[in-house]
Amino acid sequence: MRIAVVGAGAVGGYYAARFAAAGHDVVVIARGAHLSAIRANGLVIRSGSREFVTRPAAHDDPRGIGPCDVVLVAVKTYDNATALPLMAPLTGPATLVLTLQNGVDSPSAAAAVVGEARVLGGAAYIATAIAAPGVIVQTGTHHRVAFGEVFAPAPVASPRAVALRDAFVNAGVDAEVHGDGRVPLWEKFVYLAPFAGLTGAARLPIGPLRTRPDTAALLERACTEVEALARAEGVPIASDVGARIRDYLAALPAATRSSLLIDLLAGKRLEVEALQGAVVRRARAAGLDVPVMATLYAVLREHADGHAGSGPATRRPDPASRPA
């Protein structure tokens, strides 16, 4: 299988390396020092005491590569305007595009470039970080993806989604496939948009936020707002999703910070529009009131362009406390 990965950073690079190690013909689209390092030394994956090196083809320009069987999209959502057009030279009549980005807008954004018929939507559950150009460290134990059809949802998974799931599994990645790909996207969104928003707005990890009654109540109210939005949009998320999210948040190590918080403290750009902003815009269209999420959005959007970091807060973050 010929697989292209648009955005071979901490997330995309990990899956690219897994596919390459399994014998697939992999090409990564990267840039800067990361691209140079992959070309010179390969793509290095470190997980605990283990390390493996793969050597996928690496380019900054997809023109001339030709159509691929699968295109994985794993760039940060704020880069979509420049990154998504890179898919066009990589797609042919049978190409399958899988978005693995935060938020719920990515499949539509990708479909605007390559057409709805090619696109699957998915959620990635993995803790990774770029330790150095060309070197990706897996800091947690999970490396799961969940995906399915988003424009033609059905009671059972489509054959092409099942085939891609099998390719992930054969590459050593935990993967699950859904008949309705909106479900895994929204079930992650229901917790991620509030979790990232509150940890970012408070500049605190999950520990103190969940132990203080006022902030714990805000987090639960925010999750409830996004859950209600999912149901208003007709997405059949599980009836017990709220309880599962509470259990998940309660089990996180107290020092866990969202990637949005880590990027905020480092002065980097933030995925505010794909997370909190998307909730507010969709709620407005659905006629729903989302006061907690709207407040988090109002606080964070002023820092979306990456000018928040200063002083000691800009030190390199500990990637071990950085879930997606």
Domains of the chain as residue ranges with CATH: 2-179 (3.40.50.720), 184-313 (1.10.1040.10)
105 in Cβ contact with 127 (< 8 Å): no
Percent of the chain clearing pLDDT 90 (strictly above):
90
Least confident of 122-131, 228-237, 279-288: 122-131
Letter string b/e over residues 215-251, b meaning 16 or more CB atoms within 10 A of that residue's CB: bbebbbebbbbbbbbbeebebebeeebbeebbeebee
Q: What are phi and psi of 131, to 5 degrees?
A: -80, -30
Task: Report how far residue 164's alpha carbon sits from residue 240's, in angstroms, rounded to the nearest whole number.
Answer: 28
pLDDT at 143: 86
Task: Report how far residue 242's alpha carbon sits from residue 296's, in angstroms, rounded to the nearest whole number.
Answer: 20
Distances in Å between the alpha carbon of 180 and those of 78, 122, 160, 164, 265?
26, 10, 13, 15, 36
Average pLDDT of 30-41? Answer: 95
- pLDDT tens-digit profile of 183-241? 999 999 999 999 999 999 999 999 999 999 999 999 999 999 999 999 999 999 999 99
Task: Report how far residue 259's alpha carbon sits from residue 243's, in angstroms, rounded to the nearest whole number.
Answer: 23
Task: Specify the pairing of strand 2-6 against strand 70-73.
Answer: parallel
Task: Tell me the two tokens of residue 119.
Answer: 């696109």
Instruction: Determine the 3-state secondary structure of 124 from DSSP.
Output: strand
Contacts of 298 (CB under 8 A, 6+ apart): none
pLDDT higher than 80, residue 323? no
pLDDT higher than 70, residue 137? yes
pLDDT at 159: 98
pLDDT higher than 70, residue 8? yes
Distances in Å between the alpha carbon of 244 and those of 127, 178, 237?
20, 18, 12
